[in-house]
Structure 1
Amino acid sequence: MTLPERTLRPPADVLINEALVRDLLRAQFPQLAGLALEFADNGWDNVSYRLGSDLAVRLPRRESAHALLLNEVRWLPFLAPRLPLPIPAARHRGKPGEGYPYHWAVVPWLPGNSAATVSAEVRDGYCASLAAFFGALHVPAPADAPRNPVRGVPLKNRDDAVRGRIQGMQEPERSRLLSIWDRGLAAVEHTGPRLWLHGDPHPHNVLASGGALSAVIDFGDMTAGDPASDLAVAWLHFTSRGRAEFMERLAGDALYSPGIWVRARAWAVNYAVLMSGLPPDDALHTVGVHGIEQLLAED
């Protein structure tokens, strides 16, 4: 398989280190400032530090991520009681200060490890749990739910960007993936209400322990719209066996409009091609390669 050119994570526009996090805690939540602090992750949008044994500090690393964190802070406490798995609903809401320009949050430290670090065969073991999570999440959202230009929208809105990424690949993968994408474009568009979506529920945003799901994290892309963009991750998480059970568990949901799995497969092309272009040492690179293999194996 020939992969597209590597895609680098966007650069940070603010320096975040342990000293800054300590200063923010002392200034705004002094009752937490004495807890142990340990760097946890430098993600696409946020930097995370573990705080004590059961909390984490989550700070946007670039301006465009700031609004995403504000969505999480507002909406996750509303969604959390309705979901069958823990999510990082904010315990404390931080404000700009100490030279740091963005809002930030103290959230629960959720147990488990990134599911991107285990094999797809292991991930098959939680397909029913992930289906149940989506079944609980994908319900009609209020009119003021966040809007996201790259998640939950009609596939035609993403056509230029996705087609451009696929064109960067070589044959025969390029033609086969374009065919899957075109079938999604031709499918019936989502009808009915805008449903709540996680927005980016790939394996690195799911925590697992002992082969079971323990939490779903990173709701920065949360939005409402066509659930096909969430369900696409069936090709990223699972093998054909797990994916079949995942689909069966969600079969018959009246809120899932006709053509949803054709659209979902096209969305999977979008995610898989993007992730496969990340550097090989990125956890999502392997997830993207797996997704492309799964998509082509079905075609």
Structure 2
Amino acid sequence: MHAGEFPISAELVAKLVAAQFPEWSGRPLTRVTSSGTVNVLFRLGDDLVVRLPRVDWSLGDIETEATWLPWLAPRLPVTIPTPVAAGAPGEGYPWPWAIYRWLPGAVPVEGRLADPLGLAADLAEFVKAMRAVDRVALPGSPPAAYRGGGHSLLDETARNALDGLGGQLDADTLAAAREAWAADLAVPDYAGPPVWLHADLMPGNLLVDPRGRLTAVIDFGTLGVGDPSCDLIVAWNLLTPEARAAFRAALDVDEPTWRRGRGRSLAMALGSLVYYHETNPPFADNARYVIREVLCDLSRSR
């Protein structure tokens, strides 16, 4: 999916595990099917998962999670990943990697939610808990969240994507998307106190049980503090209109924050559709869903 991506095979992972963690050598090793964009996952036996960066610009995720996940775990209402072991470069693989506890569950799919309202309530509870983290009692300075700055920082991404999507979106949709982005970009950037954020609440980073209720949130590599609208993107990349309204009500989101979140969702989706439309079909499909939901929201509000 990316220039400079390192090729990762089961044979390589088996060699890394055998060399650095011989107690787990010989366990069944199965590649996990995932739409994730910067890491490769291999299930190691029944209770562990190996996570390896594909690209060098995601290497900080391993250290971020090792530092903050154990501290955040008891403060959140759902399960989050538990780091078990830190791997080092070796066997030809150039970067740090990690082993975590395996978390059961299914990734929710936009348009096929078993309990949209229940999931919306669960997501709101998680976001509230993240925002409630006491920054004073932290073990160190909280990092700035990836994309946690002003939504206006996504303007170049959105405009470049709109210029490059002629083959993916029809002219009417492109025109509506330009209008939608311009409208939400006009909202001033956030000027309040930064709050704790997951900062990447995409469907692929959520796990649900057979009832469709949230059981775990994964991939905290982008966590940190910033604009609270950053964790509203899940309202458009996953939820139905009714569930989106319930999510907003549960969080008591004001209009400027809601519009910043909607703008973020649209800009990210436009950029993703340009970048991943050939290499990651599930990611591109989700981007199209976001664009439809944002434009439907706008048409209903008129």
1:166 touches 1:273 (CA, 8 Å); kept in 2? yes
Q: What residue is the counterpart of 2:237 in the other structure?
A: 236
Q: Structure 2 residue aligned with 1:159, among 146, 155, 160?
A: 155
- The alignment status of 1:212 with 2:213, answered yes or no, reads yes
- What is the Cα deviation at residue 124 of structure 1? 4.3
What is the 5 A alignment of 1:236-255? 236-251=237-252
**Helix, strand or coil for the counterpart of 2:30?**
strand
- The alignment status of 1:135 with 2:131, answered yes or no, reads no
Q: What residue is the counterpart of 2:257 in the other structure?
A: 260
- The alignment status of 1:37 with 2:29, answered yes or no, reads yes
- What is the Cα deviation at residue 153 of structure 1? 1.1
2:110 touches 2:239 (CA, 8 Å); kept in 1? no
Write the letter of the residue equivalent to 1:29: F
- Identify which range, 191-200 or 228-237, moves more after superposition: 191-200
Gaps of 5+ in 1: 1-8
- The alignment status of 1:101 with 2:94, answered yes or no, reads yes
| 1:244-297 Cα shifts (integer Å, max 9, x gaps) | 111111016xxxx77210101101111222344433762222222221111111
- What is the Cα deviation at residue 12 of structure 1? 5.1
Write the letter of the residue equivalent to 2:217: V
Q: Structure 2 residue aligned with 1:57, among 40, 45, 50?
A: 50
Whole-Å separation in 2 of the counterparts to 1:97 and 1:189: 44
Write the letter of the residue equivalent to 1:279: H
Q: What residue is the counterpart of 1:145 in the other structure?
A: 142
- What is the Cα deviation at residue 99 of structure 1? 2.1
2:110 touches 2:238 (CA, 8 Å); kept in 1? no
1:121 touches 1:238 (CA, 8 Å); kept in 2? no
Whole-Å separation in 2 of the counterparts to 1:239 and 1:224: 27
**Helix, strand or coil for the counterpart of 2:155?**
helix
Whole-Å separation in 1 of the counterparts to 2:282 and 2:118: 20
- What is the Cα deviation at residue 161 of structure 1? 1.5
- What is the Cα deviation at residue 64 of structure 1? 0.8
Write the letter of the residue equivalent to 2:284: H
What TM-score do the two structures reach when normalised by structure 1? 0.87
2:201 touches 2:231 (CA, 8 Å); kept in 1? yes
Identity of aligned residues (%): 35
Write the letter of the residue equivalent to 2:289: H
1:198 touches 1:223 (CA, 8 Å); kept in 2? yes
- Identify which range, 65-74 or 101-110, moves more after superposition: 65-74
Moved over 6 A (4+): none
- The alignment status of 1:10 with 2:2, answered yes or no, reads yes
- What is the Cα deviation at residue 121 of structure 1? 6.3
Q: What residue is the counterpart of 2:288 in the other structure?
A: 289
RMSD: 2.3
1:184 touches 1:266 (CA, 8 Å); kept in 2? yes
**Helix, strand or coil for the counterpart of 1:144?**
coil
